[in-house]
Chains A and B, each alone.
Chain A
Amino acid sequence: MIVDVNFVGLIIASIMASAVPLILASCGELITERSGVLNLGVEGMMIIGAISGFALMTVTGSLIIAVFGAMLAGVLISTIFAFLTQTLITNHVATGLALTIFGIGISAMIGKNFVGIPGKEFPVLFEGLKDTIPLLSPILFGHSIVFYFAFALPFITSYFLKKTKIGLIVRAVGDSPESASNQGINVRFVRYACILYGGAMCGLAGAYLSMIYTPQWIENMTGGRGWIALALVVFSTWNPIKILIGAMIFGGLTIIQFHMQAIGVRIPVQFLTALPYIVTIIVLVVISRDSRKIRLSTPSSLGKSFHKDN
């Protein structure tokens, strides 16, 4: 059997494309969690980003406004979460759930008038180089700017956390808010910032889905990707580089579905669709089994409220 190398390249590129929203959302959530905050509202923030991006694109016609607007929408919705958990000291888990329920509802409400409207073509970079190198060209060239940003983000995030002073502060706040506070760091401010940043990345992830990946608005179009992104953060043991690996695995599982159906493998379609969720569970079990390793890598104050009495 002769395998066309360019076809292999295209499959890898399509896996990478489906990994993009997972990478963006996970890297955002990773920063939030590194500061000690568990935001379960990823799914809600993503879907808000998806509808905001699509709606702004349709209404203003500007892709730039749409992309940044979606990020801003993510920031705004995460501000609710930040205000509740940081200022009013509410439970992180319950507040995150409320955010997801609220986000799905409000996105469907806004999106009612945008169902069935075709999306716009999103410009791709380096399209002229598409046929230059066998195998690698389809992987490297001809993608949107968001795609390239997503694959750079884990490295940027890793550098930020390890090498920059602000990154160190974020980690200090997550690992020991008391000592960070004693050092004169404003814990609440840092956590606010990390939550809003997470919101922006989830908004971007949503915009990628509705504007680039499948350029249209469908209710509930995030389809659980937000939850998989949350699982990826655990999978990565809070290490951004490993998010890249995890996201590629899950991207692969999504893409496999289509190809299995195409070559006529007789497995029920529902089973293939369920595969990413089942694999997530299995991966979580394998990762979490070593409780010592998890405890060492989990931000110590994750999900715990911090309130300075004054």
Chain B
Amino acid sequence: MIKIVKRDQPSKAIFFFTPVLAIFLTLIAGGIIFYILGFKPFEALKFFFIVPIADKYGFSELLLKATPLCLIAIGLSFCFKSNNWNIGAEGQLTFGAIVSGGVALLFYDQEGFYILPIVILAGAIGGMIYASIPAILKTYFNTNEILVSLMLVYVSKLILDYLVVGPWSNPEGFNFPETRQFSDSARLPLLFEGLRIHAGIFLALAAVVISWFVFYKTYLGFQMKVSGFSLKTAKYAGYKGKKMIILVFLISGACAGLAGVGEITGPIGQLHREVSPDYGFTAIIVAFLGRLHPVGIIFASLVVAITYLGAETAQIFMQIPKYTGQVFQGMILFFLLASDYLLFFKFKLIGSKK
């Protein structure tokens, strides 16, 4: 007989193994879904996960999509580690893009080395301002941060829509819902000729290094970890809870805002209606899949970025609807959460040893 037994303490090996298991299970479930939809499962999975990254261009696209995911997820891991449920990164990204885009538009007919740093800074500040709303409401008015941060996503997208259709729309743009092109000095430089991957990737890598340092080498990181385990303990230890809530929200807002900067100053070079294909929401999955660990998040962002590319490729070559990407993302999180069961429980054969 097999019995389920509680582990004495969560297994560390399984902690890092379950994300792999979750991805594997997602592939199987995805194959089954493709089969039900009338596609050949292996062929569909190949178009979804291998074809898109088989050449140099595809790999560059992978990094291009993984960059914002990684950046946002790093920021979110500050929140999630300390038990703050910021699920409005999409709004913080959008608002960061609005602020940095607005600054970039001020300089649209100027060139100069000083423009790009200002634009980048503006994006981070925009994200921070927007993230401070749920943080302040949570700390001083006891308001649920999940609902507030989420409602603000809708609001930010409507602000963006208003701006690009109305006051900021390109005067020579034949009423298209987009702004002027930014000047070259406001653009993140491309890394290779003919590929779209841009310098934004260095922002993501910097975030990885800094967050690793903060999490594992500073007192703040320790405080966050304690608060995540038990708010009571954190209070007892005398940590300033309110300050930390605001701080982690600001950090994650800044990261999301920077991701927004990357989206508009990279390959696109202007503001338009859709600055992000829900990177802010998908990054939540990336953060969990990466186990809130900076290195884990790098890998997770690459894996999840494939679902974006795969959805596009599969749509072009096999007429598989592009939403399959979201289905895969949802499934990854389901399976990851489910396999966490193995962290706390193990299956034990009993009876035979009697």
A in complex with B? yes
Which A residues form the contact surface with B (CB < 8 A)? 40, 80, 84, 88-91, 93-95, 97-99, 101-106, 108-109, 112, 224, 227, 230-231, 234, 268, 270-271, 273-274, 277-278, 280-281, 284-285, 288-289, 291, 294, 309
Identify A274's interface contact among B85, B147, B158, CB under 8 A.
Answer: B158
Q: CB-nearest residue of chain A relative to B288?
A: A94
* Chain B residues within an 8 Å CB radius of A112: 321, 323
Identify A109's interface contact among B154, B159, B288, B323, CB under 8 A.
Answer: B323
Q: Does B141 contact A (CB under 8 A)?
A: yes
Identify A101's interface contact among B141, B159, B329, CB under 8 A.
Answer: B329
Q: Does B144 contact A (CB under 8 A)?
A: yes
A to B CB contacts below 8 Å, 13 in the list = A94-B284, A94-B337, A98-B333, A102-B330, A224-B151, A227-B150, A231-B151, A270-B161, A281-B152, A284-B148, A285-B143, A288-B143, A289-B143
* Chain A residues within an 8 Å CB radius of B6: 309
Known: A105-B327, A106-B327, A285-B143. A227 touches B151 (CB 8 A): yes
Most buried by B among A91, A95, A97, A224: A97
> What's the nearest-Cβ distance from chain A to residue B256, in Å?
16
* Chain A residues within an 8 Å CB radius of B161: 270
Number of A-B contacts (CB under 8 A): 128
* Chain B residues within an 8 Å CB radius of A104: 323, 326
- Report yes or no: A105 in contact with B334, Cβ–Cβ below 8 A: no
Q: CB-nearest residue of chain B relative to A40?
A: B146
Q: Does B306 contact A (CB under 8 A)?
A: no
* Chain A residues within an 8 Å CB radius of B155: 274, 277-278
| A interface footprint on B311-339 (CB within 8 Å = 1, 0 otherwise) | 00000000001011111111101100110
Known: A234-B147, A289-B142. A103 touches B323 (CB 8 A): no
* Chain A residues within an 8 Å CB radius of B282: 101
* Chain A residues within an 8 Å CB radius of B222: none
- Beyond A80-B334, A105-B327, A281-B137, 11 extra complex contacts between A and B, CB < 8 Å: A89-B344, A97-B333, A98-B337, A102-B327, A104-B323, A106-B330, A109-B323, A273-B158, A274-B159, A280-B147, A280-B151
> What's the nearest-Cβ distance from chain A to residue B76, in Å?
12
* Chain B residues within an 8 Å CB radius of A288: 141-144
Cα of A230 to Cα of B149 in the assembled complex, Å: 13
- Enumerate the 4 nearest inter-chain pairs by beta-carbon distance, A residue then B residue, closest first: A102-B330, A105-B326, A108-B323, A98-B333
Q: Does B35 contact A (CB under 8 A)?
A: no
Q: CB-nearest residue of chain A relative to B325?
A: A105
Identify A98's interface contact among B147, B159, B330, B340, CB under 8 A.
Answer: B330
* Chain A residues within an 8 Å CB radius of B59: none
- Report yes or no: B330 in contact with A91, Cβ–Cβ below 8 A: no
Report the contact-size class of chain B (Cβ under 8 Å from the partner).
35 or more
Identify B338's interface contact among A84, A105, A270, A285, CB under 8 A.
Answer: A84
Cα of A97 to Cα of B166 in the assembled complex, Å: 34
Cα of A94 to Cα of B341 in the assembled complex, Å: 14
Cα of A278 to Cα of B153 in the assembled complex, Å: 11
* Chain A residues within an 8 Å CB radius of B208: none
Identify B321's interface contact among A101, A109, A234, A271, CB under 8 A.
Answer: A109
Cα of A284 to Cα of B37 in the assembled complex, Å: 42
Q: Does B285 contact A (CB under 8 A)?
A: yes
> What's the nearest-Cβ distance from chain A to residue B194, in Å?
32
* Chain B residues within an 8 Å CB radius of A294: 142
Cα of A102 to Cα of B150 in the assembled complex, Å: 17
- Report yes or no: B321 in contact with A90, Cβ–Cβ below 8 A: no
Known: A101-B329, A102-B327. A284 touches B144 (CB 8 A): yes
Q: Does B71 contact A (CB under 8 A)?
A: no
- Report yes or no: B341 in contact with A277, Cβ–Cβ below 8 A: no
Most buried by B among A88, A98, A108, A224: A98
Cα of A224 to Cα of B155 in the assembled complex, Å: 11
> What's the nearest-Cβ distance from chain A to residue B11, in Å?
15
- Report yes or no: B337 in contact with A102, Cβ–Cβ below 8 A: no
> What's the nearest-Cβ distance from chain B to residue A246, in Å?
13
- Report yes or no: A285 in contact with B288, Cβ–Cβ below 8 A: no
* Chain A residues within an 8 Å CB radius of B148: 281, 284
Q: Does B62 contact A (CB under 8 A)?
A: no
Cα of A102 to Cα of B328 in the assembled complex, Å: 8
Known: A88-B338, A98-B334, A278-B155. A108 touches B147 (CB 8 A): no
